[in-house]
Structure 1
Amino acid sequence: MKPSLSVVMAVYNQAETLNPAVKSILEQSFPDFALVIVDDHSTDETPELLRQWRLKDKRVKVITNSRHLGLTKSLNVGLKQAKTRFIARMDGDDVAMPERLKRQRDYLLSHPKIGLLGTAVRLIDEAGKPLRVKQLPSSPETIRQSILSGCPFIHPTWMLRKSVLDEVGVYNEAFSYAQDYDLALRIVSRFLTANLLDPLLNYRVNSGETISLKHLKQQEWLALRARWLALTKYGYSITEAWRLVKPVLSFAVPAGIKKLVYARYYW
């Protein structure tokens, strides 16, 4: 029988953290899913680890890019293979709680008007040590009110309906960073969204894969571009342009200072 859920993961040279991430998905209490992993032409031990997982579990499907495409294009490669009713995201350096997929799927089944569902996360450092719980706006109303100020979702916690992507489209490949924010803005403009308040993912911060501290200025610039598209193309009212004041002022802060602030206070 065809699974009802696809979990999409794109990885690149993540051999050090890949096994716990994949294991946490394959050991979910809800077993009816396909795990679609796009290997973005890794040069470390990632391909061999993925080969072993594919042999161990028939739910694992590995797609290997013939050249390095970057995260955005790799995610779209994965989405093309996701033909199921629900699609979840996962990253190769995070760890999902055993009930994550069940909790999110059950919520979407019981709330048919919700198009995208995220969760709170437990922040962990590079060694996996717990730091604190990070919660986000949870109701459709608070998410809509806050989204132009900043992305109210943690990307690898997403679960959404395929029908939502059929309407708003996939990741915009012009965005090497903030691709999740651009897509979230499109989704929120047409659908109700929510976040569960329980932390259902251990989310690794301050690692090489955490773009909030790497290429920060480029990420901020693309996030500003996403906001501009929201106001000019995605149906957000131009009267909400005042919400861009703080992000614009934040962008003006030198990158070195901003990275110190992010590392100390943001997470």
Structure 2
Amino acid sequence: MTPLVSVIMAAYNAEKHISASIESVINQTYANFELLVINDGSSDRTQSIVEQFCKRDSRIKLINNDKNLFVIKSRNIGIENAKGKYLAILDADDLALPNRLEKQVEFLENNPNVFLIGSSAHIIDENNTICNNFIALTDYHELKRNILKNNLFYHSSILFRNEKVFYREKMIYSEDYDLILRLFSEGKKIVNLPDILISYRQTNHSLSKTKNRLVQWLFINKAREFYKERLSIGKDSYDAFNPQSFINIEDIHCPINKKDLLYAMKICFYRKDANQLKFLVKKYRKYYPISLDYLLYSLSSLNKNTFNLICKIYSKL
């Protein structure tokens, strides 16, 4: 029987939590699914753990990447191999509550005009203790009005129609937000259910905690720029985008677009990082002529009182 839902789980060195994540899928009240686990070149016991589950439940399929291709490519491999009418995302350290698939499938089956559905979420720690709750915004028009302020969807909660919509692989650290913004700009109706249907694990060692926050913000802002371009002219400049300029922003020899560099300088005030601002001012001077923007940022980086004042202003915005 062809599964109605394909659950896609990208996993890299996930031995600590992946068993609980897989169990949360097996224990769903909705049974007509396949679980595709994409083992992204893990060096720990992830592969052997998933193999044991595959022996136990034929609905679980393991796809092994020969090397670490990162989460975006792994999710796209999952989408390529998915047989279901619907695709559900669940990260290898998060948990699906028992009625997640049943609730979301029922909603999409009864609302053919909706393309994607998310949900509210528990925020849990390493020990599965609930630390907080994310109460999702549910109204489509309100979501669309506010989507440029924040990503209003917890990605492990989304379930959407399998129309072979893929993640854009250059949108590192913001591929989930970029996907949501692309769907909005294409006129797709996407909403959240108010129900708490997943537990999102937030730890000190999670990707969102360990990656360079400045680099993450640069990619998030680029996703917003692309969204505005699509609304304005019907397409964006993704094909010409070089993500290495963001990844290597702390390399003086790696050039970066002037607009993006100025944005990175502004982010230094949110991060209260005067040393990084000094470096970015130096980088600006290497590639671009002196301008008013340069003089303002240069003065701020050299004057501690001015820097602290601007940081205080930005913290209240």
Normalised by the length of structure 2, the TM-score is: 0.73
Secondary structure in 2 matching 1:230: helix
CA 1:127/1:251 → structure 2, altered by over 3 Å: closer, same or farther?
Answer: farther
| Mapped pair 1:41 → 2:58 | no
Matches within 5 A, 1:85-234: 85-163=85-163, 166=164, 169-189=165-185, 190-212=187-209, 214-232=211-229, 234=230
Match of 1:264 in 2: none
Change (3 A) 1:100 1:255: farther
How many Å apart are 1:200 and its aligned residue?
0.8
Residues of 2 paired with 1:80 and 1:248: CA distance? 39
- RCO (CA 8 Å, sep 6+): is it higher in 1 or 2? 1
Task: State the 1:83 CA deviation.
Answer: 2.8
The alpha-carbon distance between structure 1 residues 249 and 127, as it changes in their structure 2 partners (threshold 3 A), is farther
Are 2:35 and 2:61, in contact at CA under 8 Å, matched by a contact in 1? yes
8 Å Cα contact 1:100-1:201 kept in structure 2: yes
Q: Tell me if the contact between 2:9 and 2:89 (Cα under 8 Å) persists in the aligned partners.
A: yes
The offset of 1:255, in angstroms, is 7.0
- 2:289 maps to which residue? none
Aligned equivalents of 1:121 and 1:222: distance in 2? 25
CA drift of 1:207 comes to 4.0
SS of the residue 2:208 aligns to? coil
Q: TM-score, normalised by structure 1?
A: 0.86
Q: Distance in 2 between matches of 1:170 and 1:208?
A: 27
C-alpha displacement of 1:39: 0.3
Aligned length: 245
Task: For residues 16-71 of structure 1, give each alpha carbon's deviation from its aligned partner in whole angstroms, at most 9, with x where no partner exists.
Answer: 00100000001100000000010000000111101101111000011000011011
Residue 87 of structure 1 and its aligned partner are, at CA, apart by: 0.5
Is the CA contact 1:85–1:162 (under 8 Å) kept in the aligned structure 2? yes
| Structure-2 residue corresponding to 1:52 | 52
Q: 1:248, 1:144 → 2: CA distance?
A: 28
> Could you tell me how far apart the structure 2 residues matched to 1:91 and 1:110 are?
26
User: Does the aligned pair in 2 maintain the 1:126–1:207 contact within 8 Å?
Assistant: no
Aligned partners of 1:35 and 1:60 also within 8 Å: yes
| Contact 1:224–1:247 (8 Å) recurs in 2 | no
Q: In structure 1, what is the Cα distance between the partners aligned to 2:268 and 2:224?
A: 13
Deviation (angstroms), 1:254: 2.1
> What value does the CA root-mean-square deviation take over the aligned residues?
2.2
Q: Which residue of 1 aligns with 2:271?
A: 254
Q: Which has the larger radius of gyration?
A: 2
Unaligned 5+ residue runs, structure 2?
235-262, 275-317
